[in-house]
Structure 1
């Protein structure tokens, strides 16, 4: 039986990197975005995220979107209110980005610590062509370990189980976050592709 490594193992390694190292790794990873571009329609809608926990910086993804005329979006948690049992609806929706720098996007801090922008122009995940998914670890089969909140699995689960190919689910991370194998739960949604500083791979 596969046992997943502790999340803190990877978050500690991320925090040990300097800002300069993070930016350099992100520049290296961005060189492989041309391979993703080959699978996208013109004026594609791209879901991004804020790199608020030491992740591989996502500003190069926004730069790429702007350069190619893609429409970038950021996730919003809790926009659908509460479920019948009183908990927050975990499905993400996405708001357009109107700034060229993520640091300039107006944000609120979600109760779980995630930065998010609020807007009335909300899209469902199914309306995006690609979602760049945050992750703590990923294995060589595309199985993803998130932060544990279940937001992306909940958001993408229904379309994945029904066989819908859109949106493409792409991981964006450091190479040390790639492991041989992770335990997979029935509700987990695997990635379609992964971009790291050392390359791109498809699952």
Structure 2
């Protein structure tokens, strides 16, 4: 394993411990602040086709954004991961009721089954905005995910498939924003990082 991968793994452990130390109240407070910033952001307001990640317990909660986007008539896409590979697609979600009915994965996030036929974002016109999760972020826009490369792979696919690549906004707890993080060639930088401060 190279030095960067080792450094990333150590940092991931450190960040997970930090996030596990946050109380539910503190996570809710920061989630509220970050979601409000997203809803007020021009890129979100202008977006017509966007992807919203469904949050895990140690990520900024995205329920408010999901409700708002569905209510505003935006075309909303959510991630569908294949846990056996680095494959992820973004599939259409049409209503809150449909979201409610989705099954849970082993990661405790809702997701449509892989074998279910659903409209995919890149097959039907692409995306103009992607809200991105992660474990660590630098102020310069670098992102460190959980090590599987789902988003880096997908963002590279979007850049290859779309004439105008989607804008990206990462949602972060204050504890996840660091002066710098180790990066590799395959890491795709994020346009904007929104945290609660």
Q: TM-score, normalised by structure 1?
A: 0.77
- Structure 2 counterpart of 1:28, from 29, 33, 40: 33
2:79 aligns to what SS in structure 1?
strand
2:76 aligns to what SS in structure 1?
strand
Corresponding residue for residue 123 of structure 1: 120
Give 1:144 deviation, angstroms: 0.3
CA distance in structure 1 between the aligned counterparts of 2:101 and 2:25, rounded to whole angstroms: 22
Question: Residues 152, 179 of structure 1: CA spacing in aligned structure 2 closer, same or farther, 3 A cutoff?
Answer: same
Corresponding residue for residue 94 of structure 1: 90
- Residue 57, structure 1, aligned to residue 61, structure 2: yes
Give 1:41 deviation, angstroms: 7.2
Which runs of 5 or more structure 2 residues have no equivalent in the other structure? none
Question: Residues 52, 102 of structure 1: CA spacing in aligned structure 2 closer, same or farther, 3 A cutoff?
Answer: farther
Give 1:115 deviation, angstroms: 4.2
RMSD of equivalent CA atoms:
3.0
CA contact (8 A) 1:50 1:102 kept: no
Give 1:142 deviation, angstroms: 0.6
CA contact (8 A) 2:35 2:62 kept: no
CA contact (8 A) 1:75 1:95 kept: yes
CA distance in structure 2 between the aligned counterparts of 1:127 and 1:91, rounded to whole angstroms: 17
2:43 aligns to what SS in structure 1?
coil
2:137 aligns to what SS in structure 1?
strand
CA distance in structure 2 between the aligned counterparts of 1:50 and 1:8, rounded to whole angstroms: 22
**Mean CA deviation greater in 116-125 or 101-110:** 101-110
Which runs of 5 or more structure 1 residues have no equivalent in the other structure? 80-86, 199-203
Corresponding residue for residue 176 of structure 2: 177
Corresponding residue for residue 14 of structure 1: 19
Question: Residues 64, 196 of structure 1: CA spacing in aligned structure 2 closer, same or farther, 3 A cutoff?
Answer: farther
Equivalenced residues, count: 188
**Structure 1 residues 53-95: Cα deviation after superposition (integer angstroms, max 9, x where no partner):** 411111122122134322222111239xxxxxxx73x332112
